[in-house]
């Protein structure tokens, strides 16, 4: 499928051409690379000289880079009956990339192509390891292909819960120690795993048994739209890149509109996040995904000058000194009510966001088995997350917005 | 010294127990595979599902062998340490081996903040944790050995081992304190221990170290028997105490170090099995104790692993919890019935 109805945006092409050359050096031998370079030059020439339609025809014959505009962790190239997915740095400082060939039955893969894993598509029997992946499958209407998952209770979406109730999805234990026997018994076409440092022993074992393991790095993306763009990565496994792209374009448009709207706000309220465990305050670092949302919602995250994309652990004193007067407090860990906060630590009362009742949490919206919906759906619907935050920080901009994830503390 | 013949039936029963536990261990697991299919796999017949063949040959059998090697190896090293220190509460880890291993693993899993990307990619090989754990054990071992050369009293080595354990667990605590949840979870899971997920080549390496360690123990049988009567007496029999001590330490390190590297710090088997065996086979002669402890350790570990797999269920329990659940009551029971305490 896909070639005849794929429409590359030629303007974008001219813009990303140097990147394409770089991306394709992963695992490609020189002769193939030369071909692609030649084709690219052709494309550039045709883009200059002729209209879009001709460029399309010239280019469908060989590898077409699917535009990936925000995500930095993967690239996608369509070669007709097979696709090349390159995942870069699937965990922080990995220092290497992984090349996956997604091939339809009978596709001829050039022997010069070097890759880590080959997967037959469209995938009929899939194992994923994060609830975010489950949300992506549902968006692509492929939740029926999901046959195993570690920690079924974390899944909240009703459609997939229905499949679990019908016994179509097997429990695989926990991500760090997957139940190897059940996984081997399932014989999935592919396991979409993630690794926080490349040392997941169960995944290594599965891979050795001949079941392809593909590492997903969506969790390392710090840009909200970048994280959401990984829907295209999942689309590739089902020959549904077009569907994924069009879904993403809608999300992108909504997100950018909400961001522009937030920019109209007169003020930039100050924001605090996280909560204490014992006397350490755990909060998102300044370059993290959560911090980016706060910035895009036209507010000042008080710890935005801290580097790093993970989480910070600061002393209570430090946070109190910095953020006592913060206007808003979003995402106070597991707490759902002011009472709980107060009981956990009397220090929380000192914050003006607490006194003014301006604390909002995303962890109170849960599925029927206790999974936090935000973790499942938030990454693929950044538009909804941003709208929630804009409506909290600047209520007059979105007066009728019903928040999806963020709710005020009780 | 007792005659070996008296204990032959007991040893034979232990061997039967190991075989029964082995059959049980291979036939039970999260995926229920009918017994005739298992036999078909073992005798190269037709299997109705190819994945079952893989599960048996590449997962369950290596796991069973690992259980045998780990259980027997830890039991032997526990026995060696109990005899050497003449202390019933000594175990394979009194020399601080597991603490050294934990420190090595903690540095790799949770030290990213300290070393940046230094160790990244290191884990990819699959041998990363094994190497880290071995280096950690080796460093602690060298420190204990150096100290033991200067020490006249064997008991002081016990204290030094304990001190090294405290030192390394302090460093691990500091690392854990500053680690994000995901890294901490990985470390915790490692510390739970696991005898599964070893490839055949890893089982081979483990088996090699097991042979080295057990071989040294067999060579020391005579000296072990002399040691039971006290160091002074052993010396008067012409035994070189220091050399013998070094051999026992090296043997224990081969066994406990390699097992910890591949299966994590598995508690209590090494401490509990020698005591259990002394109840069943009340012998002091290491010519009988050694094979009995090897068989007992293997059987207990196979049974613990079978229980940890929770047959038929998709969840598994950490092997460390199970061994302790078995081991701790044994130790308590031993102390309570001290009247008949055999050591």
What interhelical angle do B61-85 and B154-177 show, nearest 10? 130
Contacts of B187 (CB under 8 A, 6+ apart): B105, B106, B109, B110, B172, B176, B179
Q: Note the pLDDT tens digit of each residue in A11-42.
A: 333 333 333 333 333 333 334 444 444 444 44
Q: Convert the pLDDT of each residue in A229-246 to its tens digit.
A: 999 999 999 999 999 999
Whether A176 sits inside 8 A of B189 (CB atoms) is: yes
Phi-psi region of A162 (alpha: psi -120 to 50; beta: other; left: phi over 0): alpha
The confidence score (pLDDT) of residue A53 equals: 36
Which of B30, B121, B196 lies at the smallest CB-CB distance from A95? Answer: B121
CA distance A176 to chain B (A): 7
* Site from B66, B111, B197 to mutate, A interface, most A CB atoms within 10 angstroms: B197
**Are residues A179 and B316, on separate chains, in Cβ contact within 8 Å?**
yes
Residues of B in contact with A197 (CB under 8 A): 109, 112, 120, 123, 183, 186
| 8 Å CB contact of A197 and B315 | no
Which candidate from B49, B199, B315 shows the least CB-CB separation from A173?
Answer: B315
Split at pLDDT 50, 70, 90, the class of A48 is: very low
All residues of chain B having their beta carbon less than 8 Å from the beta carbon of residue A219 are none
Choosing among B113, B120, B195, which should be mutated to test the A contact, i.e. which has the most A CBs within 10 A? B120
CA distances from B30 to A369, B71, B111, B200, B304 (A): 23, 22, 34, 21, 15
| pLDDT of the residue at B339 | 58
What is the least distance, in Å, from the CA of B50 to any CA of chain A?
Answer: 9
Q: Pick from A181, A196, A201: which is nearest to B55 by CB?
A: A181
SS3 A137: helix
Position B175 scores a pLDDT of 86
Taking an 8 Å cut-off on Cβ atoms, the answer to whether B123 and A199 are in contact is yes
Specify the pLDDT at position A238: 94
Torsion from C-alpha of B103, B104, B107, B109, nearest 10 degrees: -110
Structure tokens at A223: 């840009």
For B223-230, what is the mean pLDDT?
85
Instruction: List, for residues B284-293, the tens digit of each pLDDT value.
Output: 888 889 999 9
From the CA of B130, how many Å to the nearest CA of chain A?
11
pLDDT for res A180: 85
CA A217, CA A219: separation in Å to the nearest integer? 5
The encoded tokens of residue A294 equal: 């706060």
Average pLDDT over residues B94-104: 84
Mean of all residue pLDDT scores within chain B: 83
Residue A284 clears pLDDT 60, i.e. is over it: yes
Q: Which of A129, A170, A199, A333 to mutate to test the interface with B (most CBs of B within 10 A)?
A: A199
Q: What is the pTM of this model?
A: 0.76
What residue has token string 């089982």?
B203
Pick the more confident residue, A37 or A382: A382
Is the Cβ pair A197, B112 closer than 8 Å? yes
Residues of B in contact with A281 (CB under 8 A): none
Nearest by CB: A313 against B30, B120, B178: B178
Q: Identify the pLDDT of residue B146.
A: 83
Q: Are B253 and B141 in contact (CB under 8 A)?
A: yes
CB pair distance less than 8 Å for B194 and A198: no
Listed in sequence order, the DSSP H helices in B111-197 are 112-115, 128-150, 154-177, 181-192
> B273, B297 in Cβ contact below 8 A?
yes
Interface test with A, best of B55, B111, B117 (most A CBs within 10 A): B55
Among the partner-chain residues A92, A172, A184, the one whose CB lies closest to the CB of B55 is A184
Cα separation, B252 vs B97, in Å, equals 9
* pLDDT tens readout for residues B175-207: 888 777 777 887 888 888 888 878 888 899 999
Whether B58 sits inside 8 A of A179 (CB atoms) is no
Cβ-Cβ contacts under 8 Å, A93 against chain B: 112, 116-117, 120
| Binary contact (A199, B30; C-beta < 8 A) | no
Q: Which residues of A touch B197 (CB under 8 A)?
A: 180, 201-202, 204-205
Average pLDDT over residues A327-353: 89
Task: Evaluate the omega torsion of the peptide bond into residue A318 and state whether it is cis, within 30 degrees of 0.
Answer: no
Asked if the model's pLDDT at residue B1 lies above 50, the reply is no
The answer, yes or no, to whether residue A45 has pLDDT greater than 50, is no
Residue of B25, B117, B121, B306 to mutate, testing the A interface (most A Cβ within 10 Å of its Cβ)? B121
- Tell if the CB–CB gap between B52 and A185 is shorter than 8 Å: yes
pLDDT value at residue B123: 55
Query: B182, A196: Cβ pair inside 8 Å?
Result: yes
* Residues of chain A neighbouring B117 (CB-CB closer than 8 A): 93, 95
Q: What is the pLDDT of residues A359-381, one digit of tens each?
A: 999 988 888 888 899 999 999 99
The pLDDT confidence band at residue B340, using thresholds 50, 70 and 90, is: low
What b-and-e string marks burial along B40-69, b requiring 16 or more CB atoms within 10 Å of the CB? Answer: bbeeeeebeeebbbbbbebbbbbbbbbbbb
* In B220-285, alpha helices (H): 221-227, 231-236, 241-252, 258-263, 269-280
Instruction: Determine the distance in angstroms separating the CA of A164 from the nearest CA of chain B, rounded to an integer.
Output: 14
| pLDDT value, residue A138 | 94
Q: In the beta sheet, which residues pair with residue B243? A: none
Chain A residue closest in CA terms to B128: A199
Size of interface A-B (CB pairs under 8 A): 92
- Residue A27: the pLDDT is 34
Q: Is the pLDDT of residue A44 over 60?
A: no
User: In the predicted model, is pLDDT for residue B343 greater than 70?
Assistant: no
Averaged pLDDT, A63-89: 90
For residue B124, give the nearest of A171, A182, A198 by CB distance: A198
- Which is higher by pLDDT, B223 or B110? B223
Q: Is A51 exposed, middle or buried (0-12, 13-18, 19+ CB in 10 A)?
A: exposed
**Min Cα–Cα distance to chain A from B127, Å:** 9
Which pLDDT value is given to residue A37? 45
Q: Which of B117, B186, B197 sits opposite A180 (nearest CB)?
A: B197
Residue of A nearest to B263 (CA): A201
- Give the separation between CA B86 and CA B119, rounded to whole angstroms: 41
ipTM computed for the complex = 0.70
What is the distance in angstroms between the Cα of B247 and the nearest Cα belonging to chain A? Answer: 34
Q: Is A282 exposed, middle or buried (0-12, 13-18, 19+ CB in 10 A)?
A: middle
- The pLDDT of residue B332: 76
Confidence of residue B113 (pLDDT cuts 50, 70, 90): low
* Chain A closest-CA separation from residue B42 CA (Å): 17
Distance from CA of A281 to the nearest CA of B (A): 12
Q: Which residue of B has its CA nearest to A93?
A: B117
Cβ distance of B54 and A95 shorter than 8 Å = no
Q: Do A181 and B189 touch (CB under 8 A)?
A: no
Q: Average pLDDT of A96-105?
A: 91
Cβ <8 Å between A177 and B117: no
Q: Find the mean pLDDT for residues A95-111.
A: 88
Query: What is the residue-averaged pLDDT of chain A?
Result: 82
Give contacts of A185 with chain B, Cβ < 8 Å.
Answer: 31, 49, 51-52, 55
Phi, psi of A215 (to 5 degrees): -85, 130
pLDDT for res B125 = 55
Element (H, E) at A271: strand A270-273
φ, ψ dihedrals at A65, nearest 5°: -75, 125
Q: Determine the pLDDT at residue A301.
A: 93
In this structure, are strands A359-361 and A328-330 parallel, antiparallel, or unpaired? parallel
Is it the case that residue A168 has pLDDT exceeding 90? yes
Are B51 and A187 in contact (CB < 8 Å)?
yes
Sheet holding A190-193, edge to edge: A170-171, A146-149, A126-128, A190-193, A213-215
Instruction: Please answer yes or no on whether A197 and B123 come within 8 Å at the CB atom.
Output: yes
What are the φ/ψ torsions at residue A275 (nearest 5 degrees)?
Answer: -160, 175
Average pLDDT of the residues in A384-407: 93
Taking only the tens place, the pLDDT of each residue in B46-82 is 888 888 888 888 888 999 999 999 999 999 999 998 8
Chain B: residue nearest A198 by CA? B124
Please check the confidence at residue A51 and state whether its pLDDT lies above 50: no
Instruction: Please say if the pLDDT value at position B239 is more than 70.
Output: yes
DSSP B59: I
Contact A205 B123 (CB under 8 A): no
Report chain A residues whose CB lies below 8 A from the CB of B316: 173, 177, 179
């Amino acid at each position: 499928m896909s070639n005849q109805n794929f429409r590359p945006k030629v303007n974008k092409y001219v813009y990303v051409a140097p990147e394409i050359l770089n991306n394709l050096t992963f695992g490609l031998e020189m002769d193939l690379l030369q071909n692609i370079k030649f084709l690219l030059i052709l494309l550039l020439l045709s883009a200059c000289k002729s209209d879009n339609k001709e460029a399309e025809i010239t280019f469908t014959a060989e590898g077409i880079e699917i535009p990936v505009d925000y995500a930095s962790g993967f690239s996608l190239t369509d070669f007709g009956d097979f696709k090349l997915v390159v995942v870069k740095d699937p965990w922080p400082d990995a220092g290497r990339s992984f090349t996956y060939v997604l091939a339809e039955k009978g596709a001829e893969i050039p022997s010069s192509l070097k890759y880590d894993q080959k997967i037959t598509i469209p995938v009929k029997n899939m194992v994923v390891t994060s609830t975010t992946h489950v949300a992506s499958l549902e968006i692509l209407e492929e939740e029926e292909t999901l046959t195993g998952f570690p920690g079924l209770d974390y899944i909240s979406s009703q459609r997939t819960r229905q499949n679990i109730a019908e016994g179509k999805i097997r429990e695989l234990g926990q991500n760090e120690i997957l139940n190897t026997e059940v996984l081997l018994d399932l014989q999935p076409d592919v396991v979409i795993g993630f690794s926080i440092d490349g040392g997941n022993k169960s995944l290594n074992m599965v891979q050795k048994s001949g079941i392809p393991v593909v590492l997903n790095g969506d969790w390392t993306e710090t840009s909200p739209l970048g994280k959401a763009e990984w829907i295209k990565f999942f689309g590739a496994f089902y020959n549904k890149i077009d569907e994924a792209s069009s879904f993403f374009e809608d999300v992108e448009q909504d997100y950018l509109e909400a961001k522009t709207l937030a920019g109209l706000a007169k003020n930039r309220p100050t924001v605090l996040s996280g909560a204490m465990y014992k006397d350490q305050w755990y909060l998102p670092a300044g370059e993290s995904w959560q911090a980016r949302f706060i910035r895009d919602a036209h507010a000042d995250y008080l710890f935005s000058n801290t580097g790093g994309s993970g989480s910070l652990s600061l002393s209570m004193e430090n946070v109190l000194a910095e953020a006592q007067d913060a206007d808003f407090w979003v995402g106070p860990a597991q707490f759902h009510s002011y009472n709980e906060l107060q009981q956990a630590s009397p220090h929380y009362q000192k914050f003006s966001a607490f006194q003014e009742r301006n604390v909002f949490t995303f962890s109170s919206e849960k599925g029927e088995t206790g999974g936090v919906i935000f973790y499942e759906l938030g990454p693929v619907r950044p538009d909804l997350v941003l709208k929630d935050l804009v409506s909290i920080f600047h209520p007059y901009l979105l007066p009728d917005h019903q928040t999806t994830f963020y709710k005020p503390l009780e | 010294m007792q005659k070996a013949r008296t204990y032959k039936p007991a040893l034979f029963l232990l061997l039967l127990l190991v075989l029964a536990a082995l059959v049980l261990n291979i036939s039970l697991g999260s995926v229920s595979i009918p017994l005739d299919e298992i036999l078909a796999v073992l005798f190269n017949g037709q299997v109705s599902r190819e994945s079952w063949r893989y599960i048996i040959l590449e997962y369950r059998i290596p796991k069973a062998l690992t259980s045998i090697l780990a259980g027997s190896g830890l039991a032997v090293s526990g026995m060696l340490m109990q005899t050497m220190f003449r202390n019933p509460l000594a175990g394979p880890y009194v020399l601080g081996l597991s603490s050294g291993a934990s420190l090595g693993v903690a540095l790799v899993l949770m030290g990213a903040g300290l070393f940046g990307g230094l160790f990244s990619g290191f884990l990819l090989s699959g041998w990363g944790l094994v190497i880290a754990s071995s280096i950690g054990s080796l460093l602690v071992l060298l420190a204990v050995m150096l100290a033991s050369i200067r020490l006249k009293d064997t008991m002081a080595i016990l204290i030094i081992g304990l001190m090294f354990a405290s030192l390394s667990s302090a460093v691990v605590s500091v690392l854990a304190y500053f680690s994000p949840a995901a890294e901490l979870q990985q470390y915790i899971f490692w510390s739970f221990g696991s005898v599964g997920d070893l490839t055949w080549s890893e089982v081979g390496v483990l088996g090699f170290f097991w042979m080295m360690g057990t071989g040294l123990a067999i060579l020391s049988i005579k000296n072990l028997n002399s040691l039971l009567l006290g160091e002074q007496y052993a010396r008067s029999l012409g035994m070189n105490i220091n050399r013998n001590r070094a051999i026992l330490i090296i043997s224990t390190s081969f066994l406990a170090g390699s097992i910890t590297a591949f299966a994590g710090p598995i508690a209590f088997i090494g401490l509990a099995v020698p005591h259990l065996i002394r109840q069943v086979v009340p012998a002091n002669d290491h010519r009988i104790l050694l094979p009995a402890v090897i068989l007992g350790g293997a059987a207990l570990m196979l049974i613990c692993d079978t229980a940890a797999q929770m047959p038929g269920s998709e969840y598994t329990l950490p092997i460390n919890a199970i061994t302790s659940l078995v081991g701790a009551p044994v130790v308590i029971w031993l102390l309570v019935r001290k009247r008949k305490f055999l050591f």
